[in-house]
Structure 1
Amino acid sequence: MPKACTKPLKQQPFQTYRDPETGRWYVVRTPTPIQTLSSTLEQPQDQKAG
C-alpha cells in the first residue's frame, strides 16, 4: 500500500494568469518568501559571493 508524503510542497517562483478577452497566458514572478529571504540575509558575506 502506498504511503502518504509528509514533506510540504515547494512553492513555485511564478504565477500564471489567463486574459479572458485575448486568451493569452501571462507568467508573473512571485516575491521570495520571507523565510527564504531572511535565511539568505543571515549568511556571512564571504559565502554569498561564491
Structure 2
Amino acid sequence: MRNLQLEKMAVGLQLSEPWLREYQVLPSGTHPCMQMSAFGGYILSGTKICE
C-alpha cells in the first residue's frame, strides 16, 4: 500500500477487513454462531493514476 502511494500509482487508498457474522436462529432465541472463521482477508481499494 505504501509503495503504491510513494510511486504515485494510486490515491485514496483504503484497507478494510470485511467480516460477516452468521447468526443461529432458534425458537428459544437468536445468537451468533459459536464456530466461525476468525479471518477472511483484507480488501485494498483506491483510484489508479494513469499518466
Which band: TM-score by shorter chain? Answer: under 0.3
Q: Which has the larger strand fraction?
A: 2
The structure, 1 or 2, with the larger RCO (C-alpha pairs under 8 Å, 6+ apart) is 2
Q: Which has the larger helix fraction?
A: 1
Report the TM-score, using the length of structure 2 for normalisation. 0.27
